[in-house]
Amino acid sequence: MKDSTRQRKKVIRGIEEAYGRQWVVEQMYRILARGKQGFDSLMMEMGRMVAEAIMYIDREETAGPEYKPFCPNIYKWASQPGSVYIADQKVRVERPRLRGRQGEIQLKSYKRMKEPDGFSEELLAKVLRGISCQKYAETVIEAAQAFGVSPSSISRHIIEATGKQLKEFKERSLSDFRAFAIYLDTIHRAGEAFIIALGIDTEGKKMPLGFWQGATENHELCEELLADIERRGLKLTKRTIWVTDGGKGIIKALRDKFGKKLLHQRCTIHKDKNIQKHLAKRYRKEAHRRFKTALEQKSYEDAKEMLLEMEKWLRGINESAADSLLEAIEEILTLHRLKVPELLRKTLCSTNPIESMFSMVRDAEGNIKRYRNSRMKQRWLASVLLYCEKRFKRVNGYTSIPDVIRNIEALEETGETVKVAA
């Protein structure tokens, strides 16, 4: 008898001793009846052994034990390699066989486990959580070393699924999206820059709007992205709040498009760090305290007064730090000028929401060893952004958005604009 056969029989006896033979049979078939969802609840490292145990129990229930067969016309006939789907993964197993007078008798448990259920889409969701399609057998089930999934066969499924999602992402209509705020930022992947737009609608829901690929972040790249999302139906108005980290290329593109009426909020976290980089270590803590205290003020006038006091303090320490603060004061205080309530202001005052999405992108793509071409980069990025979208929640303070929109309209009616630094 083969060692592998002895091991399988030992596993079956262990399960039977722990729970009883009848319970095991009932539970195994109940799992099969529920299909894939039942298998998802099993520990992955036991997946292959459990699948084989089911089939051996099925064969024994049909033919009887070796020492007391149920029917002389049905007998066991060794085993051969086969494959089943367990939690959307194709697994190689040793398939036990039965024969009768009319030929081979197929086990009903094996027949059921051969039926895939949405393989490409559900496998893709697992890949996006950090599983590399090229190292699938090593990364999906580390404890179950004998699963042996073919990387090339998985790759074909992944390419088909991600290609479909890339097309969906790049061509979907944005005509129904009512933009309240849009974040613009760049993520660098495989030596190239991808500028991405993340939108918040008037109901507080986040949605990746698009991306554009280039060598570096510049205003031409941003203009191409804006043109792309407009082509797909998004209405870019002067009432939209734009949040950026202060990159010159992005700001130039926005100013060229909206002029003096641009509602631009500079990321306060980036500006705080930029100021501190100019200072000696002994001044950084105090600079951070002053900056944070100023932004905590509810009114635009109070916040600006404290920032100007900070600017005077910085002049005596470092002229460059003072200039860095002064050139962005109005754009730092855009939300204060629009009277955005504190809870919503915390969401809009920095690029944290889009940075958080970038973190998910990096985690999801962490196991990709090499990008073969530009299309592969775009396929994966589109797939991950769509995956991120499913996990988004409404922004904190979204109930205040209608009030902020009315404040913006009031500024337009009075002819006021948010001042933009030259």
pLDDT of residue 323 exceeding 90? yes
Does pLDDT of 413 surpass 70? yes
| Residue 282 near residue 290 (C-beta atoms within 8 A) | no
In the block, residue with structure tokens 């100019």: 278
CA 128 – CA 122 distance, rounded (Å): 10
Question: Sorting pLDDT into bands at 50, 70 and 90, what band is 148?
Answer: very low
DSSP 259: G
**Where is pLDDT greater, at 396 or 22?**
396
Q: Up-side HSE of residue 186: CA atoms within 13 Å toward CB?
A: 24
Sign of torsion over alpha carbons 380, 382, 165, 42: positive
- What the block records as the tokens of 219 is 């205003």
Paired strand residues for 265: 243
pLDDT in tens, 336-384: 999 999 999 999 999 999 988 888 777 766 656 566 677 777 877 887 8
The letter for the amino acid at 196 is I
pLDDT-based confidence at 250, cuts 50/70/90?
A: very high
Phi/psi of residue 197, nearest 5 degrees: -110, 125
Angstrom distance (rounded) from CA 215 to CA 188: 9
Helix (H/G/I), strand (E/B), else coil: 217: coil
Averaged pLDDT score across all residues of the chain: 77
Residue type, 327: E
* Band of residue 44 on the pLDDT scale cut at 50, 70, 90: very low
Check residue 27 and give its pLDDT. Answer: 60
Three-state secondary structure along 6-36?
Answer: HHHHHHHHHHHHHHCHHHHHHHHHHHHHHCH
* Residues facing 94 on adjacent strands: 81
Model pLDDT for residues 184-206, shown as the tens digit of each residue: 999 887 778 889 999 999 999 99
Cα Rg, the chain, nearest whole Å: 30
**Three-state SS for 311?**
helix
Average pLDDT over residues 215-226: 88
